[in-house]
Chains A and B, each alone.
Chain A
Amino acid sequence: MIYRENGQFKTSYAADQQIFPIAQDRWAVLAIVAFAFVGIPFLVDEYLFRAILIPFLILALAALGVNLLVGYCGQITLGAGAFMAVGAYAAYNFLIRIDGMPMLAAILLGGFVAAVVGIVFGIPSLRVRGLYLAMATLAAQFFWDWAFLRISWFTNNAPSGSVSVSNLELLGWSIDAPIEKYLFCLGLLALFALLAKNMTRSAMGRQWMAIRDMDVAAEVIGIRPMFAKLSAFAVSSFYLGVAGALWGFVHLGSWEPAAFSIDRSFQLLFMVIIGGMGSIMGSFFGAAFIVVLPIFLNQFLPWLGGLVGLHISTAGVSHAEFMIFGALIVFFLIVEPHGIARLWSTGKEKLRLWPFPH
């Protein structure tokens, strides 16, 4: 009843082509973003900031990057963790090796280096696809894992191979408190999400989707596969690189290559598959599902056990967490193979017809 576009007439192309054509959507999203910026800082405690919200924001950004490549361009990748690592280590090296390098510039430069690396490792996509491409990107994962462990130049010859960054500063604003870190990540994420959304609506995004849906047909209508595929790799890796730099700089503060292991790559791929391939919104759903749910289960199960007077051991909780989490993934994939984002849009569709479905 409330969610209906009756009476909203579009009188210009601009109005017709905007991101959220329905006024209610527009206002709701604006309200959510405003709430995230203004409301949440007043409501949330340090634990939520540091343990849940900041990792969620950063991994949502990474999932966005993977979604551009996997969801929009149809190029499957298992090297997402490697591109994050490249971003993180490149940003670290820019920051410590160049005097007076601003932190934000280092992070963005880390993203650019990741983009270049992404293009190089994307070259096989011109010849192979599907599972074979997954293998090629897997090579990126192992190669960079190896490089950051073995080549001590990347870690500034740190004896333990672990690097750390501190005293984050942005134009005189020192980012120390969790709330500042949160706002910094949120600002970057909002910016990059808007950029991603617009990219997918632009000529480039349409090329990606054409390639995804049928690359031969796309080529026939004049799309250059090389440009389309490599640009998708570059943009996706840029996002991943920035996310990786944030993960190292803002979330962990000090890290080792294990922070960007193959597990991270799988995690990001699962986020995209569960959240919804080819959907910006889906990246957020996926990230929330994968980041928040295990932690929630880990705390909810002992509480639930306590209600019925049952004491579950720490290991038991952890095992149960894995099982329930796995079962939920299977459940979602069976109920809605297109991800939570599709569930969301089906819900919206139903709402528009309510209360008179036909």
Chain B
Amino acid sequence: MKTRKLMMAAALAALLSVPAIAAEQFFPVLVYRTGAYAPNGTPWANGYVDYLKLVNAKGGINGVKITFEECEFGYATDRGVECYERLKGKSGGATLVQPLSTGVTFALTEKASVDKIPLITAGYGRSESANGAVFTWNFPLLGTYWVGADVAIQHIAKKEGGFDKLKGKKIALVYHDSPYGKEPIPLLQERAKMHGFDVMLLPVAHPGVEQKATWLQIRQNKPDYVLLWGWGVMNSTSLKEAQATGYPRDKMYGIWWAGAEPDVKDVGEGAKGYNAMTLQHGAEPNAKVVKDTLAMVHAKGQGTGPKEEVGSVLYMRGVLSAMLGVEGVRKAQERYGKGKTMTGEQVRWGLENLNLDQKTLDGMGFAGVMRPVQTSCLDHMGSSWVRVHTWDGAKWNFSSDWYQADDKVIRPMVMLASGKYAEEKKLKPRTPEECKQ
């Protein structure tokens, strides 16, 4: 009799001591580790996943563990949509989605608002989605292609000695012929009208290994600068062609997709002097967050991908993208309850009220990596800081100070394009009152 009571007591104690099931937050991870763009997609995915692991190693988001699942889509839009559909309902619902493809972003823009899942496109996607009144679920955090293009022109003007010196100059845009590559065109045309320079548009067909004709045109027309909106293998091909035609590499400026290690490594010395616009960060092997990742994730054998790539440009882009998502969740928890699982709608509020000042960023290990981000209901971009970095033949070094895109140029364009979108889709933009809810 006594033993039975004892056993029951023990069982009860055991039952009580089992902790309540920990709350979890599910992050779907759309990646492309295969296909033509794998060299760029893989480090991004590694960084993204490593950062989620790092957050877990540090105890989660206020104790909420992050779960995640990868889905490979090979940069194909229809497979990307399939991945999204597959993951959006899993493990209690997707927190947010980061497609890393302009094509998939376009396809998901309408679906995300129906499913109430925020769509973060950190540094890519459609530029007009910075207007949060119309694009209520899109978050082009840390800048868009328009920001990149705007700063490129500012930087060139500075080199030339002022915007008035741009008159009569010829600037060529060598771009991947897809929505991604076409994004900067409206902004360049706007700037061209303002300062009187010529824009030469030189599209390159996917995947971009055939560029002889493009560079022949460059040789004939001798543009003063070349902007490179390339992608994957297209970038190294462009640089090799530039080398073959003798176009000076230091007059070439790439967007951040064309400014990572895989783009220039093959060309090595030949790419020396080539510049790229970084939206905030470059290669950051010395950042504290990188050291933390190495110590708390890779040292335990849980790292994703090779150790040597930790801290490379696109790896850092993955880390920053993940960080922004995690911080959105953290912010949402402040309002809706710490230690709880957040829904997509709550995370959207978090992302809309993101306020990462320099102190917070430094505390998280992003000192020197990025500048503050502050979003609002109407501004879903949060920051437009850009630096230029230059390839010295072995690594990327920053070669300029911080720039900020000119809001006077970009804002009216964003309002115009998003207004057109709202009209086409018969959407009613959110009013400031609705934002307060």
Contact = CB atoms under 8 A, between A and B. Distances in A.
Q: Size band of the A side of the interface?
A: 35 or more
Interface in A254-269: 254-256, 258-259, 261
B179 A55 contact: no
Contact of B106 (A46, A166, A254, A295): A254
A159 B182 contact: yes
B78 A259 contact: yes
Contact of B86 (A166, A256, A299): A299
Contact of B426 (A161, A167, A314, A315): A167
A259 B106 CA distance: 12
A298 B110 CA distance: 26
Interface residues of B, number: 41
Interface string B107-148: 101110010000000000010000000000000000000000
B177 interface: yes
A82 to B, nearest CB: 15
Contacts of B205: 149
A315 B182 contact: no
Which of A45, A162, A319 counts the most B-chain CB atoms under 10 A from its CB?
A162
B418 interface: no
Contacts of A343: none
B81 A252 contact: yes
A155 to B, nearest CB: 10
Given A149-B177, A253-B107, A255-B107, A318 B81 contact: no
A255 B182 contact: no
B178 interface: yes
Given A51-B85, A159-B417, A164 B182 contact: no
A256 B103 contact: yes
A314 B71 contact: yes
Given A159-B186, A162-B102, A314-B70, 5 more contacts: A160-B102, A161-B182, A251-B81, A256-B106, A314-B45
18 contacts: A45-B89, A46-B85, A46-B89, A50-B81, A55-B82, A159-B417, A160-B102, A160-B106, A161-B179, A164-B110, A254-B109, A256-B106, A256-B178, A313-B33, A314-B31, A317-B72, A318-B34, A322-B34
Across the A-B interface, give the 9 residue pairs with the lowest CB-CB distance, nearest first.
A315-B33, A160-B179, A51-B85, A51-B82, A162-B179, A314-B70, A318-B72, A318-B34, A254-B106
Interface of A: 45-47, 50-52, 55, 96, 149-150, 159-162, 164, 166-167, 176, 251-256, 258-259, 261, 295, 298-299, 313-315, 317-319, 322
